[in-house]
Amino acid sequence: MTRFAAPIAEQIWDMKYRLKEADGTPIDRSIEDTWRRIARATASVEADPEVWEDRFFAALEDFRFLPAGRITAGAGTDRSVTLFNCFVMGTIPDTMAGIFDGLKEAALTMQQGGGIGYDFSTIRPKGAGVKGVAADASGPLSFMDVWDSMCRTIMSAGSRRGAMMATMRCDHPDIEDFITAKSDKARLRNFNVSVLVTDAFMEAVKADGPWELVFGDKVYRTIRARDLWNRIMRSTYDYAEPGVIFIDRINQMNNLAYCETIAATNPCGEQPLPPYGACLLGSINLARLVTEPFTDGAGIDEAELDDLVATAVRMMDNVVDASRFPLPQQEAEARAKRRIGLGVTGLADALLMIGLRYGSDEAARQTERWLHRIARAAYLASARIASEKGSFPLYDADKFLASGSLVHMDDDVKDAIREHGIRNALLTSIAPTGTISLYAGNVSSGIEPVFAFAYTRKVLQKDGTKTEEEVVDYAVQMWRDRFGDAALPDHFVNAQTLQPMDHVKMQAAAQKWVDSSISKTINCPEDIGFEAFKDVYMEAYETGCKGCTTYRPNDVTGSVLTVAEEKPKAPEVVSSTGAEPRTPHGDVVYISEPLDRPQQLEGQTYKLKWPDSDHAIYLTINDIVLNGHRRPFEIFINSKNMEHFAWTVALTRMISAVFRRGGDVSFVVEELKAVFDPRGGAWMQGKYIPSILAAIGGVIERHLISIGFIEGEGLGLKSDPQADVVNFNGARAKACTACGSYETRMVEGCMTCLSCGFSKCG
């Protein structure tokens, strides 16, 4: 009997969380080994580790408590990685040296897998004078471009790294450029961006008053607040960014307002953090805790919930001591405040299982009750740990108990804190759980609604064959197991049928008992009017949310996953040149990881003699056979001319990597053939070849023709087929950058692949 509720869950575990040797040999032989590894690592700092290891294992068992991905993958290994998900970097000084010191710190943090946030409001605006040099400042956006380039370099060095969040205050003189920066498709691809919106600004918007853009003591210009608000709204309406962070509310409600000021968040927004702030994440799987589902007696055993929360808090507190940190400042900050972010996943499934419609008033009330119960249990558990191990070092009883999120806490909880102190400064957060939700059996993600009741994914096997499997929502599968083909009840709703205000209602209900913040995407229909769209943000502000992120499918953002009743036809590929849509060559498949290389491959070696060159270039192209068809697998480019060494090695690696990813790779030919050398080309066999790279492209083209991969000269694709994809029914879709499937959706502010679990936000 497998512990996994769905095939995709086991595949995600094997691909992302299973500990393996460097050669891919599994160390974790089973999911129980993974749970045991995590339990042992988190119990290692206890005075009685064996007892706590068993308790921690019991919490992990059957996916009841889900530590975030970095803990699940990294705990108990010898890898030099951090177990913390979220970092906000230090305040950026407004000096060239300080800015590039910050860039170095960001690179070191991303290298270990952390997602980072930065406030760029501290950098002087474009055109401001720079003392000591006869120049004007280039502004914060120019330095964001540098950060973006760094992130791209770090990611290209190996496995996927953390994403980045950039924030800017609504009164910074460059805020208008910041708002529209990502309308350029080539810019800031590795950033999420959010505007820090103040209460004063929101009041000015409502009053249609003036708004000053300032830096330091200088007012650069005055604009209408409502004009700036409309510009923010128009950009997110069209491009899904920037997000909006209600920064004053965050600071007012912060338990640590007496010793820190927050100006940035982690990439998905659920964790507002001070300079060098760090937080780790974990989720209670509510879907696994429902008893007697689909009956009048369905519910969650609150005593079991309390016990699970208490164990999870202790595990997460131990991670603070067990984790590595990229920077000493991050370690000092984490241990001084011992922040943790315990949240939930499977909320929508749990609501379905007890008979409530997501977005209804009763579902909102039940959500608030469950989150209240979790907050109570978390704070009481932290107080008990404090009585044993001590409070977090910066704890001040009077100031802590007077903080915004403690004001409405139950008296018995405040009494326990007053008596024992508290171990962790902040305890609750609702994070993106896209991948770990798949791993837990495709439960609904975080506090999001069920996205799709079921969909079909294609899985490429190691031998090159493809299989199809149905991926079913956890609650839907439970319904099927009990009632067979009986129609789903009316209260079963998904993200496609909900109104935006239903989302806001649920986010606001959860926020009351979450001391940090919530990662949540409010899905809006494509045809929502602009004024109605703006109302969503105003409602989020008025109902107590700490931020707001929306997603409206359109020509720019792409569409969310299309759920179809009929089997889809092969997707068409649209050339970026504007040519008519073309069917990809053969049966195109994109692979999520390189295929294993067989011991032997067949291939050809070609000699290329470039005129006026002392040495020839030799190209060896080896092929692999998949489904009876021959396709290129790798290339080797060699020359005795040492001046060619660097670029031939680079081409060898890059082209081979493209070949091994699968799909129609003939666009490589056209890209190389289009390269012109400004020093001039050469005549070869009666044709003018514009560069030596174009000549290499020609050799590759002849090889692809010879093996039947393309039909003839000039018939390769003109662009990467993953660049712009139209699915079978004409709705826009974006291909997953990891596996190439067209099953991506917006989850808590991050595009996430339902097929392989990839998300740029981790």
- Token digits for 379? 């704070």
Cα dihedral sign, 315-318-322-324: positive
Which residue reads 């930065």 in tokens?
A: 118
SS3 744: strand
Nearest in space to 382 (alpha carbons), one of 400, 408, 407, 402 = 400
Cα gap 633→571, rounded to integer Å:
23
Active-site pick, 53, 241, 260, 270: 270
**DSSP category for residue 644:** G
Phi/psi at 533 (5° precision): -65, -45
| Under 8 Å between Cβ of 636 and 617 | no
Q: Rounded to whole angstroms, what are the CA distances from 291 to 5, 295, 300?
A: 17, 9, 6
| Under 8 Å between Cβ of 623 and 632 | yes
Nearest in space to 619 (alpha carbons), one of 701, 684, 678 = 701
CB atoms within 10 A of CB 614: 9
CA angle 366, 372, 375 (to 5 degrees): 145
Cα gap 305→664, rounded to integer Å:
50
Cα gap 665→683, rounded to integer Å:
27
Cα gap 648→364, rounded to integer Å:
60
Active site (annotated) includes residue 268: yes
Active site (annotated) includes residue 270: yes
For residue 556, the Cα-to-chain-centroid distance in whole angstroms is 19
User: Per-residue DSSP letters for 191-257?
Assistant: EEEEEEE-HHHHHHHHHT-EEEEEETTEEEEEEEHHHHHHHHHHHHHHHS--EEEEHHHHHHT-TTT
- Token digits for 489? 């009840």
Phi/psi at 193 (5° precision): -130, 140
| Under 8 Å between Cβ of 524 and 550 | yes
Cα gap 150→161, rounded to integer Å:
12
Query: Residue 49 burial (CB < 10 Å; 0-12/13-18/19+)?
Result: middle
Give the end-to-end CA distance of the chain in Å, rounded to a whole number: 30
| Under 8 Å between Cβ of 108 and 100 | no
| Under 8 Å between Cβ of 708 and 627 | no
All residues at 6 or more sequence positions from 433 whose CB lies less than 8 Å from its CB, including other chains: 66, 283, 343, 345, 445, 446, 748
- Token digits for 351? 């609501």
Q: Residue 581: is the preceding peptide bond cis (ω within 30°)?
A: no
SS3 83: coil
Query: Residue 73 burial (CB < 10 Å; 0-12/13-18/19+)?
Result: buried
- Token digits for 646? 């660097």
User: Per-residue DSSP letters for 152-184?
Assistant: HHHHHTSS----EEEEEETTSTTHHHHHHGGGS
Active-site pick, 86, 170, 268, 548: 268
All residues at 6 or more sequence positions from 48 whose CB lies less than 8 Å from its CB, including other chains: none
CA angle 80, 427, 13 (to 5 degrees): 45
Active-site pick, 266, 424, 442, 494: 266
**DSSP category for residue 412:** H
Which residues are known to be catalytic?
266, 268, 270
